[in-house]
Amino acid sequence: MTEKVYTDYFYNESAFNTHDGGYIPMEVPDIPQQQLRIPELLHPDKETDTDMYYTLTAQEGETQLLPGAKTKTWGFSAPLLGKTIVLKNGKTIHMHLQNHLPEMTTFHWHGLNIPGPIEDGGCHAPVYPDGHRDIKFKIHQPAATVWLHAHPCPETAYQVWRGLAAPVIVQDDVESKLPFPRDYGVDDIPLILQDRHFHENNQWDYRADYDPDGVQGPTPMINGTVNPYFDVTTQKLRLRILDGANRREWRLHFSDDLAFTQIASDDGILPEPVHFTHLMTTCAERHEIIVDFSNYKPGDEVILYSDDTPLVHFRIHEFAPDNTTLPDHLVDIPDYEPDPDMPLHKVVMSGMDEWVMIDGKKFSMQRIDYKMPINKTQLWDISNTNDMNGGMIHPFHMHGLAFTIVSRNGKAPYPNEHGLKDVIAVNPDEHVVIKVRFTVPGVFMYHCHIIEHEDGGMMAQIQVYDPKEPDKKYDLMDHETLMKAFAEERGVDMKDLWLGGMGSYEKMGMTM
């Protein structure tokens, strides 16, 4: 039976970011190709049969990205981005979080189903300069590629732009038995897709590049590498793709329209493998794909592109034949029936530039916008009302859970959307229905993952409660305390403090 191969990007072309008023086309600098950086593995301080212990440090660094001066960067236990953290399903994780940055930050575990707001690491879990925080949580979810990034509202976009974004791999016994490449750094490779604008002396200048609809740069940067190549020494490669950009969508394809197979989405392995020649990813989404280079010989080069811009050059070397095949069915995905006492919940994303909102409101740090109990399943209708000038695609993200997608405008989801997700990109004038089920309690955010949009208020909060403690109170960070901390750390008066997202509030006469 011939495999179905999908050859289009599915989303509304009129809403691609190429139509943004502030769109910045990418181009690769005329510099020699550099070997693709592969993030080192972060080794646990200690591991037992039941527990893993890590120390993780947010730190400043310098990174040789272009010829000449090194770029000042930030990272997690690394000068830029971060070391890859491996977590094992069923184990209790102990994290000692340290902040060696000059300003407050947070450690958000994007894609982990862990309690909030402290363990989850959103804006209510600050770690101050020269400070630390110890957290503990249990991993109870399937194998997936998730990630760690800073999330201090309204400074998330700036800190991710500075480099605070690291890959996290969750392992389990089900994935370990599937015929996937998994030799990390050899045939199992993370690809963190980002873009930057290099200013004088190869430095980044976030304020100069600021755009309330999302900061973009003309230079693609993959795993913190500009113009990278990777030496292919195995017939098949597993690429763990993360859109770690603040704004940019990536429309991916290989030279020769080489087909590839997607095996996983945001929060786990797909029920069935899906075959593509073209794949679009929006901010914060993850896609695991397997690429088979069997039709190439040593000396050949295969290029991964976004639109017409080369991202990674795969240089083919000798490799042993690999005749492994994927089963037609990979994993079972739980499918819970919606609880009849939980009516359809609607969430409306609206606006562009400074006018972005959820449900007609901007985010307020101490306001709970919705409540629901754990272990109940509810349908949520996520809509994007923004259709002016063709509108734009908003990637909707929820903390603290993985959801499944029921429909897009009453029709089936895209072919690779039948697994567990925490980001769903919604076209203008579209309704996407998802199944929401939290298994851990706490206060969690949900928002657009164009990071300048969330900083500008396109975000809300849900309190998920255990029916045994329906009125549990949480100590939520207030905005004034946060602003004072940033002002003090930067040595400026409050009136002189510039945080990009706050301009959106000021323009609409609102406060966070």
Domains observed in the chain:
5-13+179-316 (2.60.40.420), 34-171 (2.60.40.420), 345-477 (2.60.40.420)
Confidence class of residue 61 from pLDDT cuts 50, 70 and 90? very high
In this prediction, residues 329-358 reach a mean pLDDT of 96
Residues for the chain: how many in total?
512
DSSP 441-454: -EEEEEEESSHHHH
- Residue with the two structure tokens 């697994």: 419
pLDDT score for 512: 82
pLDDT in tens, 89-142: 999 999 999 999 999 999 999 999 999 999 999 999 999 999 999 999 999 999
Residue 102 near residue 489 (C-beta atoms within 8 A): yes
pLDDT at 389 over 90: no
Confidence class of residue 510 from pLDDT cuts 50, 70 and 90? confident
CA–CA gap between residue 277 and residue 326 (Å, rounded): 18
DSSP assignment letter at 307: T
Sign of CA dihedral 445, 100, 198, 310: negative
pLDDT score for 84: 98
For residue 125, the one-letter residue type is A
Full-model pTM? 0.97
CA–CA gap between residue 56 and residue 324 (Å, rounded): 37
pLDDT at 1 over 60: no
DSSP 59-127: EEEEE--SSSSPEEEEEESSSSEEPBEEEETT-EEEEEEEE-SSS-B--EEET----TTTTTTSTTS-B
In this prediction, residues 385-407 reach a mean pLDDT of 92
Question: 3-state DSSP call for residue 160?
Answer: helix
In this prediction, residues 166-194 reach a mean pLDDT of 98
pLDDT score for 115: 97
Mean pLDDT over each residue of the chain, to the nearest integer: 96
CA–CA gap between residue 210 and residue 9 (Å, rounded): 28
What distance lies between CA 433 and its chain's CA centroid? 21
Sheet holding 278-281, edge to edge: 34-35, 228-232, 309-316, 301-306, 250-254, 278-281
Instruction: Give the residue from 54, 56, 103, 110 showing the smallest Cα distance to 78.
Output: 56
Radius of gyration of the chain (CA): 22
Half-sphere exposure of 263 (CA within 13 A, CB side): 24
Q: What CA–CA distances, in Å, run from 428 to 191, 215, 350, 455?
A: 28, 20, 9, 21
Q: CA torsion 393→308→146→385, rounded to 10°?
A: 0
Residue 57 near residue 213 (C-beta atoms within 8 A): no
Residue 306 near residue 251 (C-beta atoms within 8 A): yes
In this prediction, residues 249-262 reach a mean pLDDT of 98
Confidence class of residue 147 from pLDDT cuts 50, 70 and 90? very high
pLDDT score for 509: 83
